């Protein structure tokens, strides 16, 4: 039994707290299993009417998945343990998405990658002034998984595509404005609100909607028109050309975003655009997770992932050598191979 996840009941709620502060609560396979087991137990427990999800201590809600383990798997075991992690993590994501009792996720602090995957399925998603939300996978040659395609596709205004490609970070007020968060609460009020939810799990919406601090103006709102214009196409080359043209005309924002994209994995960016377009057409979250598992199984073993993690996380040189090195080098045939069905016995299935 892992101590990296704390599960307990108090009042009429089940309470799950991530407890791996030195890693900003990055998820391990054992943490996914512990959370899934608690949810399964409470689903059948009539005493539990709702579930609270938060982190026990430290500066972040959840920084993502166990990237070091995934890279080690890619380099040393042919991706076997990495695929197992993705498979079971995605089962947890789907379990939360289809859970019949309300889940309240407190996104207080860093909420990235795997942290997005365990916050976005919750019915209530609470941001604070500490929230830093991002899907930064394009910087390490992965892709916005854990249901990212589904959620990003449904933000609107092409903001999901912008977040997937650039890895931009949103603060709490921006999460509220985009719908990534359902509520905004100041950090100082969280303990009181959790206690009240434990007493009145039938009144969660009302408790969260009472005066809980006024979020500042969402900064991304000022650039929403530019995002909608420049990130309008599902063709990555079109997006780059649009930003180039605006940058040449003196648009500093476009120049900054174009420079940002120049550091990202061309493969990831093209995968993300196709993934989000496909997710937008799906009506069943399980189908989305099956698609993302196919992508994960292939991308894990492609050169960009191990190289991206080396450059950004291991060596911290921030000089990844992407392969293919250019958007033009990422062919439709390569994308087709990444998205192709797996053998029937290897396909992802819900719990």
179-236 per-position pLDDT tens digit: 999 999 999 999 999 999 999 999 999 999 987 778 899 999 999 999 999 999 999 9
Q: What residue spans define the domains of the chain? A: 1-351
Looking at residue 213, what is its pLDDT?
74
Residue 137 designated active-site:
yes
With contact defined as beta carbons under 8 Å apart, do 320 and 267 qualify?
Answer: no
Is the whole-model pTM more than 0.85?
A: yes
Run of H or E residues at 111: strand 110-112
Looking at residue 73, what is its pLDDT?
96
| Given the residues 11, 14, 65, 113, the one annotated as active site | 65
Looking at residue 59, what is its pLDDT?
83
Cα Rg of the chain (Å, integer)? 20
CATH architecture of 1-351: Alpha-Beta Complex (3.90)
Go through 129-156 and write b for each residue having 16 or more CB atoms within 10 A of its CB, e for each that does not: bbbbbbbbbbbbbbbbbbbbbbbbbebe
CA angle 72, 76, 77 (to 5 degrees): 105
Looking at residue 11, what is its pLDDT?
87
| Given the residues 79, 82, 113, 114, the one annotated as active site | 114
CA dist list (Å): 311 to 97, 236, 264, 274, 315: 34, 23, 12, 25, 5
Helix, strand, coil percentages (3-state) for the chain, rounded to 5, are 55, 10, 35
Looking at residue 93, what is its pLDDT?
98
Residue of 261, 267, 239, 263 lying closest to 331 (CA atoms): 267
Looking at residue 1, what is its pLDDT?
66
- For the chain, residues with pLDDT lower than 50 are none
**Residue partners of 78: CB distance under 8 A and separation at least 6:** 301
Q: Are strands 13-18 and 5-10 parallel, antiparallel or unpaired?
A: antiparallel
| Given the residues 137, 171, 292, 304, the one annotated as active site | 137
Residue 65 designated active-site:
yes
Looking at residue 210, what is its pLDDT?
86
| Given the residues 66, 108, 145, 174, the one annotated as active site | 145
126-138 per-position pLDDT tens digit: 999 999 999 999 9
**Residue partners of 298: CB distance under 8 A and separation at least 6:** 337, 338
**Residue partners of 236: CB distance under 8 A and separation at least 6:** 165, 266, 269, 270, 273, 327, 330
> From CA 339, how far away is CA 342, in angstroms rounded?
9
Does 59 sit behind a cis peptide bond, omega within 30 degrees of 0 on the bond before it?
no
The interaxial angle of helices 29-43 and 80-97, nearest 10 deg, is 30
């Amino acid at each position: 039994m892992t101590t990296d996840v704390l599960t307990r009941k108090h009042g009429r709620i089940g309470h799950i707290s991530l407890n791996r502060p030195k890693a900003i609560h990055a998820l391990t396979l054992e943490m996914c299993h512990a959370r899934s087991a608690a949810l399964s137990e409470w689903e059948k427990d009539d005493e539990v009417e709702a579930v609270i999800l938060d982190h026990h201590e430290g500066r972040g809600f959840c920084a993502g998945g166990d990237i070091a383990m995934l890279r080690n798997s890619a380099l040393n075991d042919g991706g076997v343990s990495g695929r197992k992690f993705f498979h079971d993590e995605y089962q947890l994501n789907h379990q939360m998405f289809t859970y019949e009792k309300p889940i309240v996720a407190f996104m207080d602090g860093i909420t990235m990658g795997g942290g997005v995957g365990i916050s976005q399925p919750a019915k209530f998603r609470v941001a604070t002034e500490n929230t830093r939300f991002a899907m930064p996978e394009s910087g390490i040659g992965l892709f916005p998984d854990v249901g990212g395609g589904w959620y990003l596709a449904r933000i609107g205004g092409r903001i999901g595509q912008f977040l997937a490609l650039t890895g931009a970070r949103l603060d709490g007020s921006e999460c509220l404005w985009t719908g990534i968060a359902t509520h905004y609460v100041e950090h100082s009020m969280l303990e009181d609100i959790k206690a009240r939810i434990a007493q009145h799990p039938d009144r969660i919406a009302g408790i969260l909607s009472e005066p809980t601090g006024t979020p500042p103006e969402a900064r991304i709102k000022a650039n929403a028109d530019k995002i909608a214009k420049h990130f309008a196409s599902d063709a990555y080359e079109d997006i780059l050309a649009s930003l180039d043209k605006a940058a040449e005309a003196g648009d500093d924002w476009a120049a900054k975003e174009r420079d940002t994209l120049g550091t990202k994995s061309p493969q990831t960016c093209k995968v993300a655009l196709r993934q989000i377009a496909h997710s937008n057409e799906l009506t069943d979250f399980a189908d989305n997770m099956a698609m993302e598992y196919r992508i994960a199984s292939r991308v894990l073993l492609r050169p960009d992932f191990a190289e991206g993690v080396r450059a950004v996380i291991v060596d911290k040189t921030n000089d990844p050598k992407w392969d293919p090195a250019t958007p033009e080098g990422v062919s439709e045939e390569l994308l087709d191979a990444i998205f192709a069905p797996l053998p029937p016995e290897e396909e992802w299935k819900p719990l």
